[in-house]
Amino acid sequence: MDKVDIVIIGAGVVGLAIAYRLSKMNKEIILIEKHENFGMEESSRNSEVIHAGIYYPEDSLKARFCIEGNRMLYELCKKYDIPHKKTGKLIVANTKEEKENVESLFQQGKKNGVLGLELLTEMQIKKLEPNIRASFALFSPETGIIDTHQLMKFYETQSESNDIIIAYHSEVTEIQKNDDFFILDILDSEGEHFQIGTSIVINSAGVTAGKIASMAGIDIDKAVYRIHPCKGEYFSISNRHNGKIKHLIYPTPSDNDLGIHATLRLDGTLTLGPSAFYVNDINYDVDAAHQGEFFNSTKNFLPFLDYGDISPEMSGIRAKLQAKGEPFRDFIIQEESEKGLPGLINLIGIESPGLTASPAIAKYVKDLVNNF
Ligand SMILES: Cc1cc2nc3c(=O)[nH]c(=O)nc-3n(C[C@H](O)[C@H](O)[C@H](O)COP(=O)(O)OP(=O)(O)OC[C@H]3O[C@@H](n4cnc5c(N)ncnc54)[C@H](O)[C@@H]3O)c2cc1C
């Protein structure tokens, strides 16, 4: 059996960011991914927004890592030419209740340390975005968009050139703990099983992270690590509307998501989404019957849209810890000595803003590795 210093499970944007960060540590590291390529789950099925950190409770890991990750991502993109654009974003209001929500988001964002937030009147909004309808808005200049595929490609190339092995088509199927190391059973593309020993396992398996924690011997219901997959669908907006908005336009958020919003892609196209509903199995079909829901929830602030302007595009599945109707849940990122599993680092519930937070999460995980 081969032995390495560290095994990372999952080549999504978070696992890759961790691999990149740890690759300068001069340790033997292998990153295991069940698909034939990186980022084939949550990391390639999202809005690609670099969030500013407005929504999350003060001092939560989501707020802290989003704000730090936002700055780190812009720096990385500039330094290494990763395509991105600081578009800015408006969270819009048209009713008294929405206005109050926007005002409290403004306060929350300021408490969290988000830079540049501004409340805008209808006239100011009209100057920025003449084609939308909003009587009041919160403007966030630090929000932007990124080419996530290029970001992941960057992490992959850099990690490999720093001697990290990335094993694609390799699925972790079992984890055993010996006295001082873990043995991982891995199923390869030929249908053969092989084993790897390691003293540190980093579980960055996205929507499957609860299952991996369970494989390692954690009672995920007792630990409250069970993931509740929550689907988000997108509908694309007809190209005839390209250029009609210049910022990302969001409604006020609901309890478990940010609301169906209009996102700009780097190629100039516009898309609506994501919606949010809990699912039992993972499939990425988009239900065309949801067109009415998408149209009705956005026509108020995007009055230029006609029903026929939108069509099913794609979907993603959020790795949510928060079950339906439950209050806010934060990211869980911890080394599990207290659970009798020293050397296991679990990352559970890395939903939005996980893409934005990824470089900051990786920095934090490196500290956990160093302190182990
Ligand atoms: C609809 C939607 C919109 C979003 N929008 C945004 C946004 O605009 N901005 C933002 O910051 N965040 C956003 N997010 C969140 C962001 O996409 C995620 O937080 C991030 O992609 C999580 O990355 P990850 O690496 O943890 O997970 P993943 O990308 O899911 O990667 C986990 C990897 O683990 C692998 N794996 C699982 N089990 C095993 C196993 N047993 N063996 C080997 N490999 C395994 C999987 O194949 C997968 O590749 C959004 C998410 C969704 C779903």
Q: By C-alpha distance, which of 6, 300, 38 is closest to 155?
A: 38
What pLDDT score was predicted for residue 70?
Answer: 98
Q: Where are the beta strands (DSSP E) in 160-269?
A: 165-167, 171-177, 182-187, 193-203, 228-237, 248-250, 261-264
What pLDDT score was predicted for residue 215?
Answer: 98
> Domain count of the chain?
2
Q: Looking at the structure, do residues 307 and 186 belong to the same domain, yes or no?
A: no
Give the C-alpha distances (Å, rounded to integers) separating 254 from 261, 273, 281.
12, 13, 24
Token readout for 112 is 């969290």
What pLDDT score was predicted for residue 258?
Answer: 79
Would you say the pTM of this structure is higher than 0.95?
Answer: yes
Q: Looking at the structure, do residues 161 and 179 belong to the same domain, yes or no?
A: yes
pLDDT at 254 exceeding the cut of 90: no
What pLDDT score was predicted for residue 256?
Answer: 61
Residue 80 lies in a domain: no
Q: Looking at the structure, do residues 25 and 164 belong to the same domain, yes or no?
A: yes
Could you tell me if the CB of 356 is within 6 A of ligand 1? yes
| Ligand 1 atom closest to Cα of residue 66 | 11
Which residues form the domain of 221? 2-45+149-226+328-371
Residue 269 lies in a domain: yes
Q: How close is the Cα of 351 to the center of ligand 1, in Å?
A: 7
| Ligand 1 atom closest to Cα of residue 230 | 53
Give residue 53's identity as a one-letter amino acid code.
Answer: G
Q: How close is the Cα of 260 to the center of ligand 1, in Å?
A: 19
Q: Could you give the percent of the chain with pLDDT greater than 70?
A: 99
Residue owning the nearest CA to atom 26 of ligand 1: 206
CATH code, domain with 351: 3.50.50.60
Q: Could you give the percent of the chain with pLDDT greater than 90?
A: 96
- CA–CA distance, 19 with 14 (Å, rounded to integer): 9
Q: Looking at the structure, do residues 197 and 211 belong to the same domain, yes or no?
A: yes
Residue 254 lies in a domain: yes
Could you tell me if the CB of 35 is within 6 A of ligand 1? yes
Q: Looking at the structure, do residues 309 and 195 belong to the same domain, yes or no?
A: no
Cα–chain-centroid distance for residue 14?
8
Judge whether 273 and 312 are in contact, CB under 8 Å. no
Residue 56 lies in a domain: no
DSSP-derived pairing of the beta strands 193-203 and 182-187: antiparallel
Q: How confident is the model at residue 24 (pLDDT cuts 50, 70, 90)?
A: confident
Residue 77 lies in a domain: no
- CA–CA distance, 22 with 197 (Å, rounded to integer): 18
Could you tell me if the CB of 51 is within 6 A of ligand 1? yes
Q: Looking at the structure, do residues 254 and 110 belong to the same domain, yes or no?
A: yes
Residue 282 lies in a domain: yes
**Residue carrying structure tokens 């009609």:** 244
Q: Looking at the structure, do residues 279 and 218 belong to the same domain, yes or no?
A: no
Lowest mean pLDDT, pick from 21-35, 181-195, 251-265: 251-265
The Cβ-side half-sphere exposure at 17, using a 13 Å CA radius, reads: 25
pLDDT at 180 exceeding the cut of 90: no
pLDDT at 8 exceeding the cut of 90: yes
Could you tell me if the CB of 359 is within 6 A of ligand 1? no
Pocket test for ligand 1, best of 46, 166, 203, 330 (most atoms within 8 A of CB): 46
Q: Looking at the structure, do residues 128 and 160 belong to the same domain, yes or no?
A: no
Q: How confident is the model at residue 253 (pLDDT cuts 50, 70, 90)?
A: confident
What pLDDT score was predicted for residue 255?
Answer: 65
Average pLDDT of the chain, as a whole number: 96
Q: Can the peptide bond before residue 141 be classed as cis, meaning omega within 30 degrees of 0?
A: no
Residue 311 lies in a domain: yes
What single DSSP character describes residue 43?
A: G
Pocket test for ligand 1, best of 9, 42, 249 (most atoms within 8 A of CB): 42
Q: How confident is the model at residue 259 (pLDDT cuts 50, 70, 90)?
A: confident
Q: Give mean pLDDT, residues 44-52.
A: 97
Q: By C-alpha distance, which of 172, 204, 185 is closest to 34?
A: 172
Q: Looking at the structure, do residues 133 and 236 belong to the same domain, yes or no?
A: yes
298, 320, 342 — which closes off a domain? Answer: 320
Residue 119 lies in a domain: yes
Q: Looking at the structure, do residues 132 and 259 belong to the same domain, yes or no?
A: yes
Q: Looking at the structure, do residues 118 and 101 belong to the same domain, yes or no?
A: yes
What pLDDT score was predicted for residue 278?
Answer: 96
Q: Looking at the structure, do residues 34 and 157 belong to the same domain, yes or no?
A: yes
- CA–CA distance, 256 with 274 (Å, rounded to integer): 12
CATH code, domain with 266: 3.30.9.10
Judge whether 254 and 293 are in contact, CB under 8 Å. no
pLDDT digits (tens, 9 = 90+) for 290-304: 999 999 999 999 999
